[in-house]
Structure 1
Amino acid sequence: MNERIKYAAQVKPSERQLAVQEMEFYSFIHFTINTYTDEEWGTGEEDPSIFNPAELDADQWVEAVKSAGMKGLILTCKHHDGFCLWPSRYTEHSVKNSPWKNGLGDVVREVSDACRRGGIKFGIYLSPWDRHEPTYGDSEVYNQYFINQLRELLTEYGDIFCVWFDGACGEGPNGKRQVYDWDAYYALIRELQPEACISVCGPDIRWCGNEAGHCRSSEWSVVPASIQDNEKIHENSQQQDDREFARKFSSEDEDLGSREIILDTPKLIWYPAEVNTSIRPGWFYHASEDDKVKSLEELLHVYEGSVGGNATFLLNLPPDRRGLIHENDVRRLQELGDAIQHRYSVNLASEAAASASESAEGHEAEQVLDGNPDTFWAPLQETEQVSIEIDLGQERTVDHVILQEYRYSQRIERFTLECKTGGEWSTIYNGTVVGYKKICGFEAVSSRYLRLNISESRWWPNLSAFEVYSSDTNA
C-alpha cells in the first residue's frame, strides 16, 4: 500500500463542511443599487435615493427558494459598489439614506427573519472590494472598517451558515489597491459564527472555477492545499508560501485530485467544490432578460452535474426593482423543484436486498440500503477492487442510480454499473469519483439485478448508499 494513497484516503472534512455539503442546493440573492441602474458592477457613486423596492417581500423570496428544493439563501449584503443593504453604523452609503421605508428599512433583517420563518438557512456575501469607501486602499484603516461591518452582520442577524467572499481587488476611489487581511476576517468569523463555512475566498468551500455551471467529470474533495489561496487575487494578500508545493494549481484545472496529482503533492486538504451560476445571464436583475431564464433542462443538467457530482449547487436569483423574484423565475423554480421531486422521490431499492463479493465485519452490504449516513459497506482493508449487487425483488425499469460514499472520506476512483438481463450482465454506466453523492443517469433498462463494480479505489472503498430510481414513477 502506497502511504500517499493511504494518507489521501484519511483526509476528513470538518463538521461545518459536512453541514453545507448535505444542504446540497441553496440560493444566491444578488440585489442592491445595481438593480436600479441596470448594471452588473456599480461605481460607488450611485445616489442611495434610487433604491426603493416598494413591494419588497422577503417571504416571497424564501417561498420561491423552497419551491425548487433549496435549503438556504445567501444575500449580497454589500457588493463592489459599497452600498449596504443594512443600516451600517460605519457608512452613510446604505439603505438608511434611501426612500425605502423612509430610511428605516433593513433588507438584511427582513431576509434573515424570513429565512427563519421559512425554515431555511441564512448566509451573507460581503464584498471586500468597496468602490465607494474613501479609506479603501489605506489598508490598515480599511481593514478595520471592513471588520466593523462584518461584525455587525455576524452579531445582529442570528445564525449564519455561510460567509461568501470573492477576491475582487480593484482600485479604490483614492486610486489605491487594498491589501486584505484575510486572516483577521477569518478569525472574526470563527469567533462569532464558528459553524459558518467561509466560501470561495476562504478555507471551507472552493469555487468550481467558472460561473457557467460547468461541472467536472471527476470532482475531488481531497485536493492540494495550495488551492486554498487561488481566489485571493491580490498578490500581497496571499498567506501561503507556494514554494512548499510541487506545482501551482488553478481553480480552472480539470484535474485537481487524481492519483497522479496526490502522489506529487506534499499537503492535501478537504476542500469541496461549489458550482455557482445564475438563473439568468446576469447576476443582477435586468428587465431585458425576463425572457432569458434558463430552461428547465439546463437547470436539471447543472443540478445533476453538481449535486450529483460531489459538489454543491448555488443558484443565483436576482429580485427585480419591485423587490420581488420575477414571475418567470418563480415559475421555473417551481418546475425545477417538481422535476427533482418527481425523479428522486421513490427509491426502488428501499426494500431491496444487497450482497457483496467481500464485506468487513460490521460493514455488511445491507448497510448501503438502510438510509443511515453513519453506516457503510466496506470490504477488508487494502481491498481496492470489489463489487456489490442489488436485488430489487422483481424486474423494474430504472434510469438513475444514486451512490454515496461514507461522508468522512472519498476513496472510489473508478467504477461501472451493470444490469442483468437474460442471465447476462451488461454495462449501463461508467464513472470515476463518487464522493458525497454521484447521480448516474442512463438509458432506461428493465432488470431485477444491478451491480456496482469498483475497479479503482484508495486503500479500501466505503459506500453508504445505493439508491435506484425511475423517471417513470409507475415503473
Structure 2
Amino acid sequence: MVKILHALSLTTFVFHLSFTLAISTGRRVPTPPLPILPLPTYSQLKWQQREIIMFLHFGVNTFTGYERGTGHEDPAIFDPVGLDANQWVSAAVDAGISLMILTAKHHDGFCLWPSKYTDHSVKSSRWKGGKGDVVREFVDAAKARGVDAGLYLSPWDRHEPRYGHNLEYNEYYLAQLQELLTKYGSLREIWFDGFKNSSALNVTYYFTEWFSMVKELQSSINIFSDAGPDVRWVGNEDGAAGTTCWATINRTSLSIGNASIEGYLNVGDPRGTDYLPAECDVSIRTGWFWHKSQSPKKLSELLQIYYNSVGRNCVLLLNVPPNATGLLPETDVHRLKELRNALNTIFSVNLAEKCSMKASSQRGGKGGGFGPENVLDGDHLWTYWAPGDEDDGEDPWIEVRVADGGIRFNVVRIQEAVGLGQRIKRHEIYVNGKRIAKGTTVGHKRLHRLKGGVVQGSVVRIRISESKGLPLISSIGLHFDPFWQPKDGS
C-alpha cells in the first residue's frame, strides 16, 4: 500500500511539474507599452471627448448693447421677460452638445444669481420682481436633460467697490465662488480669465487660493484658465489652434492674462511636463453678447472653425448668446442644427470600415491584441494599433486597402491613444504611393481636409515619421465632406 501511495504522489508531482513547465514556456500575452508622461486625468479625457461645448454670454450687456459693461448699469434694465433655459438646453441637445457654460458674472459685476454679498444682481432687477435666479434655472434645465453645466465668474469686476484692494476683493471673490460651487450642484467646468483693460485698477488675483478652493469643493471639475490647471486657453478668440498643437505644456512658463505667451498656448510643448489640453473659444456671432444687428456665422465658417479646433486636438467652445427676451435666437438655433447635421453627414460614415488593414509591424506579432484592425473598432481610446519595438529601421506605417476599385474621400481622420500619452510628432498620408498630406501632431483627433479636394485610391498609407516612443493609433477614418469645395487647390 505504501508503494502504491508513493507511486501516486510521484505521478501527481510529475503532472504538476509538466503543467508548470508548459505554462512557463508557453507564449506570453503581449502587454501594452509603457505610458509616456504626462498623462491626462479622467476628467480631461471625458472633457476632450465632448469635442464641442457651448458658452452663453448673458447679462446687462444684452440690454445695453455693450460688449464690456461699465459696472454702472442700473440692474433694473435686466428684464428678460421670456427667459426659458429649457430652450437653451434643447438647442444644445439638438446640436449634440453635452456641456454648457453660463456667464454667472461678467466684467460689469452684475450677478445672474441673488448673491448675498452684493445687491448688484438679479435681486435688484425687474425680472420676476427681483425673485429670479438665472443660474438656478440654467443648472436645473441642464440637469433635467442630462447636460452638464459650467460657470464663468469674471475676476475683473468694474462695479464692486472692493476691487482695487487685494485682500478685500479676493475675499469677496472667494465668497461668491463658494456660493456658486455649493448651491448649484455638480459643475463640470469653471472658467477663469485674467482680462482687464489698461485703465483698470491694479489687483493681484489669488489664483492659487481660488483653484485650491474649487478642487476642495468639487474635485472632479475642470478648471479653465491661461494656466489651467486642467484646461488651457488656445491663445486667441478665433477658435483656431496651431497646425501643431500639443496637449502638453510647461505650466511654470504660464501666467494668467499674459499676452506674451499666446503663441506658446496655441502650440503647446512636446517637452511639456503638464498635460493641459487647449480649449478654443469663439462666438457664433461677431460679438460675445447678443446684438440685434448681428447674424450667426455661415455654416462654411463654422465648419472651418471645427476643423481648426476639434480637428487639431482641441475642444471647441462655441458661444451662443441669448437675446433680450431671454431666448436663443432662432437663426442661431437653426445654424447650430445645420452644423450638427453637416458633421453627421461627414463623419457618420467611415469609408475605411469595409476595407482591410495592414501595418509595417505590430506589437506582440499577429493576434497579440495590438493589430491594425483595432483602428476600425468603436473604441477610439483604449484599443489601438501599436507597431513592434523594432521596425527594421523603417518608419512605422499603417494602410487601408480596398479590395475592388477604390474609394473617394476628401477628409482623413487620425486619433491617438492619448490615455497613454500624446506621441506623434510628424506624419504623412499617401494614396496609391503619392503623398497627399502631411502634418505634425495628432493627439485626440487630427482632421486633414484635403487641399486638393476629393481623391480616389485603393491603398491609403499613414506613415509616422517621428514620434515620442511607439506611436499608438486608436482610430482612422476616411470621410467625404460634400461641403468642401476648395478653389484652385487652396
Q: TM-score, normalised by structure 2?
A: 0.85
How do residues 375-414 of structure 1 correspond to structure 2 at under 5 angstroms?
Answer: 375-381=383-389, 385-394=395-404, 395-408=406-419, 409-414=421-426
2:461 corresponds to which letter in structure 1? R
Does the aligned pair in 2 maintain the 1:382–1:460 contact within 8 Å?
A: no
Matched, 1:450 2:475: no
Distance 1:255 1:16 in 2: 21
Distance 1:116 1:139 in 2: 36
Distance 1:184 1:133 in 2: 20
SS in 2 for 1:22: helix
Correspondence for 1:367: 374
Matched, 1:57 2:84: yes
Matched, 1:419 2:431: yes
Matched, 1:280 2:288: no
Distance 1:392 1:177 in 2: 64
How far is the alpha carbon of 1:434 from its aligned partner? 0.5
How far is the alpha carbon of 1:446 from its aligned partner? 2.4
Distance 2:83 2:36 in 1: 48
Distance 2:100 2:435 in 1: 40
How do residues 9-158 of structure 1 correspond to structure 2 at under 5 angstroms?
Answer: 9-158=36-185
How far is the alpha carbon of 1:410 from its aligned partner? 1.0
How far is the alpha carbon of 1:129 from its aligned partner? 1.1
1:212 corresponds to which letter in structure 2? D
Distance 1:255 1:208 in 2: 5
Distance 1:278 1:377 in 2: 37
2:217 aligns with one of 164, 178, 192: 192
How far is the alpha carbon of 1:57 from its aligned partner? 1.0
1:314 aligns with one of 275, 300, 317: 317
- More displaced, 249-258 or 276-285? 249-258
1:368 corresponds to which letter in structure 2? V
Matched, 1:217 2:243: yes
1:433 aligns with one of 433, 436, 441: 441
Correspondence for 1:239: none
Does the aligned pair in 1 maintain the 2:288–2:319 contact within 8 Å?
A: yes
Which deviations, in whole Å up to 9, do the C-alpha atoms of 1:34-71 show, x marking residues without a partner?
11111011111111110000001111111222333222
Does the aligned pair in 1 maintain the 2:299–2:338 contact within 8 Å?
A: yes
Which deviations, in whole Å up to 9, do the C-alpha atoms of 1:154-194 show, x marking residues without a partner?
1111211100001024589xx84221111111111101111
1:336 corresponds to which letter in structure 2? L
How many residue pairs align between the two structures? 439
Distance 1:252 1:326 in 2: 34
Does the aligned pair in 1 maintain the 2:235–2:266 contact within 8 Å?
A: no
Distance 1:255 1:126 in 2: 23
Matched, 1:459 2:466: no
Matched, 1:304 2:307: yes
1:370 corresponds to which letter in structure 2? D
Correspondence for 1:469: 479
Distance 1:191 1:170 in 2: 31
Distance 2:148 2:239 in 1: 22
1:195 corresponds to which letter in structure 2? S
Which deviations, in whole Å up to 9, do the C-alpha atoms of 1:432-467 show, x marking residues without a partner?
111000112222222333211111111111111112
Structure 1 consecutive aligned stretches of length 4 or more whose deviation exceeds 3 Å:
6-9, 169-172, 253-259, 381-384
2:423 corresponds to which letter in structure 1? R
1:205 aligns with one of 231, 246, 258: 231
- Max Rg structure: 2
1:427 corresponds to which letter in structure 2? R
Correspondence for 1:295: 298
SS in 2 for 1:180: coil
SS in 2 for 1:313: strand
Does the aligned pair in 1 maintain the 2:67–2:287 contact within 8 Å?
A: yes
Matched, 1:228 2:233: no
1:344 aligns with one of 340, 347, 372: 347
Does the aligned pair in 2 maintain the 1:220–1:435 contact within 8 Å?
A: yes
Among the aligned pairs, what percent are the same residue? 42
Q: 1:270 to 1:96 in 2, by over 3 A?
A: same
Distance 2:54 2:80 in 1: 20
Does the aligned pair in 2 maintain the 1:26–1:73 contact within 8 Å?
A: yes
Q: 1:393 to 1:96 in 2, by over 3 A?
A: farther
Q: 1:417 to 1:90 in 2, by over 3 A?
A: same
Does the aligned pair in 2 maintain the 1:32–1:85 contact within 8 Å?
A: yes
Distance 1:43 1:255 in 2: 30
Q: 1:83 to 1:472 in 2, by over 3 A?
A: closer
| Structure 2 residues without counterparts, runs of 5 or longer | 1-32, 484-490
How far is the alpha carbon of 1:472 from its aligned partner? 5.7
Q: 1:97 to 1:472 in 2, by over 3 A?
A: closer
Q: 1:176 to 1:255 in 2, by over 3 A?
A: closer
Distance 1:459 1:274 in 2: 26
Correspondence for 2:11: none
> Considering only aligned residues, what root-mean-square deviation do their CA atoms show, in Å?
2.3
Correspondence for 2:208: 183
Correspondence for 1:240: none
Which deviations, in whole Å up to 9, do the C-alpha atoms of 1:89-140 show, x marking residues without a partner?
1111110111111111110011111111222211000001111111112211
2:362 corresponds to which letter in structure 1? S
Does the aligned pair in 1 maintain the 2:150–2:187 contact within 8 Å?
A: yes
SS in 1 for 2:50: coil
